Structure 1
Amino acid sequence: MQQLEALTREASALAGGGYPVIPILSANEAEVGRQMQICNACRYCEGFCAVFPAMTRRLEFGKADIHYLANLCHSCGACLHACQYAPPHEFAVNVPQAMARVRIDTYAEYAWPGALGSLYKRNGLTLVLATALALVLFLVLTMAARGTLFPGPLAGNFYAIFPHNMLALMFGVVFGFAVLALGIGVARFWREVSPASETGRSQEPSLRRDATVEVVTDVLRLKYLDGGHGEGCNNADDRFTLWRRRFHHFTFYGFMLCFAATSVATLYHYLLDLHAPYPLTSLPVILGTSGGIGLVIGPVGLLWLNLRRDPAHGDLAQRPMDRGFIALLLLISLTGLALLVWRDTGAMALLLAIHLGVVMALFLTLPYGKFAHGIFRSAALLKNAIEKRQPNRLQLGSE
């Protein structure tokens, strides 16, 4: 990737800045471009997910177009199983796999700081190291604060081990950095796939509002995990199934409920001067328990599907990243529920240290792991929602 960027800069310098320089495509990007040309001639899958209608609005596929389409793809597999040119045909069209390989390249290319983009390529190792270091940190802090991991029952008072302000500072700084890094990364992506020359045609408030409402609705419904036709994804064979969409719903809404529980507890603490531990019937506990259950069902189901998934449906090199993220979410939910059950026992300090360590590992890896796919995909969906409301000018690429 660095060599390609150097070649592009050199070409720009040779052109004296007077001529536009078309970015050089990587091998993965060129393969997506090749397949999109074939698909654009065939158009059998035009009624499937958002990728193919977006494809038909183009005659050529530049770097930005390829990045955009790759992040618009949800890897449902429907086009692969419908394609007459899929392997072993000599055209070897496998859109989900080709898109997946480009997608992770885009995460690395737009990552901030740029030097950390390489973590995507070694995400399995990154997750393991982040989890181990975060666990060690909180175990050591527990020992330092209490002198033991088993200090005896503390009536569920987490702050008797870790002061509230210390936890707020530690997690606030890490979470703030994650939001900043992801924000800058997706902003870079947006500037390339939606340059000002294009977005300037779509500044009508009603258009922006309608596009935003559509995207929010599609994201909340996980619309394009239905295969584009409502029957579901192809996971291991030609059969359609909605289980991938359902398990994603459990995971997504479980995560959001846990986030809501933390947000409500923060309001309780600062606005109402109500401090943890909260009773089992309180809103933070009800939200957190419901979210925790969702984050058990969803990740278990997604891991089961991932283990059974046809290797042709994605990039095998990314399996460690996918499974590592699923496992991390599952560990967070299991340790959180265990902490709730045994919070009034002498095991609370150890369980708290383990839970906080796993949560910290998630925060540390948010900008450089599987979580990024949801952010980039939402941006691609927004571009699609805006683009399809504009006249189809059949531009020769977006470069």
Structure 2
Amino acid sequence: MQQLESLVRAAEAEVSRQMQICNACRYCESFCAVFPAMTRRLDFAAGDAHYLANLCHNCGACLHACQYAPPHEFAVNVPRAMAQVRRETYVEHAWPRALGALYRRNGITVALATAGGLALFLLLVLALRGTLLHEPLAGNFYAVFPHNLMVALFGAAFAWAVLALSIGTARFWRGQSPGPASGASAAEAARHALALTYLDGGHGDGCNERDDRFTRLRRRFHHLTFYGFLLCFASTCVATLYHYALRWPAPYPLTSLPVVLGTAGGLGLLAGPAGLLWLNLRRHPLHGDPQQRPMDRAFIVLLFATSLTGLALLACRDTGAMALLLAVHLGTVLALFVTLPYGKFAHAVYRTAALLKWAIERRQPNRLQLGAD
């Protein structure tokens, strides 16, 4: 524990060192929200390091523009320093705290083993019941797994993920003391979060990936992933409304709103994660924290697998393989929900909180400028 604490403090100290150099240079002041927020500070305590680290979108523009980047003796690498503190943010604020260690161990092997184990358990249940192979059931999933069982199982997993992430974000927020949020600041933070504004490199040309050339691919793949996820969630919400409010249980026709939303979202969750994984594997070695890449890739692969199994289930829902595909898909989705609070998804909620703090902060007087005047 003492060794872990020293690593956390070392990561925070490195962000402070680099920010002090950047504060003197200010070449990147217009790049993204990190640098204007930096100019409001002369020193950087642990809370400031966590705030700026989660405000950073790891676009890489500052690294490629920096005259003090490695191999310079100052060794300024803001994306890597911020990524290292970002992971420590997740670990330090995790709930329950003991499970914060999962952020360090959550890789592709763990993610796929979790999904495979849960899918295998469901397959064994079906095999013991004699319903693994069956006559076509016209897409009636509830003939395989009862509706109430699925609601209880996935409702509990989703509620756990929401609770764990909410408590972690609340802990992070308590350490920031940004002041009261107005409607304007909340709207601004939501706009930047939904549009992924700061993945444009600060100038609209996009991110740097392998070299100094700018590309918008990372932002586009993020949009496909993000909105694909939201469309799938919307599909589930509409299906819930149909079931409980309209008394219209599944299965639904291919042209129905839940199926259309789910199909569109599933396609987004195929293209987006595939593109993000491709970029992640090709990215410049100085970008980000190499120790965090297994966690990043695990989340990407789980999203891709969730979409792939879901679309396969939709395509084969009227065949005798439906139960088998349903068990595999449900196992994958359950693995996604279980690992959601302790993987890459955490960056979405912490980054949104940091964007909200920035929207509040930028509406307040700059104490350093007032002091200079």
TM-score normalised per structure 2? 0.96
Which residue does 1:173 correspond to in 2? 156
Say which of 348, 359, 379 aligns to 2:322.
348
Take 1:137 and 1:386, find their aligned partners in 2: how far apart are those partners?
48
Say which of 315, 324, 344 aligns to 1:370.
344
Q: Which amino acid aligns with 1:137?
A: F
Which residue does 2:229 correspond to in 1? 255
**Partner of 1:193: helix, strand, or coil?**
coil
Which residue does 1:297 correspond to in 2? 271
Question: Cα deviations across residues 36-82 of structure 1 (Å, max 9, x unaligned)?
Answer: 00000000000001000000000000000000000000000000000
Which residue does 2:118 correspond to in 1? 134
Query: Structure 1: which 5+ runs fail to align?
Result: 8-23
Which residue does 2:83 correspond to in 1? 100
Which residue does 2:205 correspond to in 1? 231
Q: Displacement of 1:2 after TM fit?
A: 4.8
- 1:28 aligned onto 2:11: yes
Which residue does 2:145 correspond to in 1? 162
Query: Structure 2: which 5+ runs fail to align?
Result: none
Take 1:122 and 1:225, find their aligned partners in 2: how far apart are those partners?
27
5 Å-filtered alignment, 1:304-315, equals: 304-315=278-289
Take 1:210 and 1:51, find their aligned partners in 2: how far apart are those partners?
20
Whether the aligned pair in 2 keeps the contact of 1:130 and 1:364 (CA below 8 Å) is: no
Whether the aligned pair in 1 keeps the contact of 2:8 and 2:85 (CA below 8 Å) is: no
- The CA RMSD over aligned residues, in Å, is 1.5
Whether the aligned pair in 1 keeps the contact of 2:112 and 2:302 (CA below 8 Å) is: no
Percent of matched pairs sharing the same residue: 68
Take 2:230 and 2:361, find their aligned partners in 1: how far apart are those partners?
29
Which residue does 2:62 correspond to in 1? 79
- 1:320 aligned onto 2:294: yes
Take 2:157 and 2:263, find their aligned partners in 1: how far apart are those partners?
24
Q: Displacement of 1:139 after TM fit?
A: 1.3
Which residue does 1:286 correspond to in 2? 260
Whether the aligned pair in 2 keeps the contact of 1:110 and 1:185 (CA below 8 Å) is: yes
Say which of 276, 291, 306 aligns to 1:332.
306
**C-alpha distance 278-25 of structure 1, shift in aligned 2 (>3 A):** closer
Whether the aligned pair in 1 keeps the contact of 2:239 and 2:258 (CA below 8 Å) is: yes
Take 1:140 and 1:27, find their aligned partners in 2: how far apart are those partners?
48
- 1:241 aligned onto 2:225: no
Whether the aligned pair in 2 keeps the contact of 1:119 and 1:126 (CA below 8 Å) is: no
Q: Displacement of 1:341 after TM fit?
A: 0.7
Take 2:2 and 2:344, find their aligned partners in 1: how far apart are those partners?
23
Question: Cα deviations across residues 97-156 of structure 1 (Å, max 9, x unaligned)?
Answer: 0100110011000000000000000011542342232212221232244x1421221111
Q: Which amino acid aligns with 2:276?
A: L
Q: Which amino acid aligns with 2:86?
A: R
Say which of 245, 256, 262 aligns to 1:271.
245
**Partner of 1:312: helix, strand, or coil?**
coil
Query: How many residues are aligned here?
Result: 368
**C-alpha distance 100-286 of structure 1, shift in aligned 2 (>3 A):** same
Q: Which amino acid aligns with 1:134?
A: L
Take 1:345 and 1:25, find their aligned partners in 2: how far apart are those partners?
53
Q: Which amino acid aligns with 2:80?
A: Q
**Partner of 1:311: helix, strand, or coil?**
coil
Say which of 63, 70, 89 aligns to 2:46.
63
**C-alpha distance 139-208 of structure 1, shift in aligned 2 (>3 A):** same
Take 1:236 and 1:4, find their aligned partners in 2: how far apart are those partners?
32
**C-alpha distance 249-25 of structure 1, shift in aligned 2 (>3 A):** closer
Whether the aligned pair in 1 keeps the contact of 2:131 and 2:144 (CA below 8 Å) is: no
TM-score normalised per structure 1? 0.90
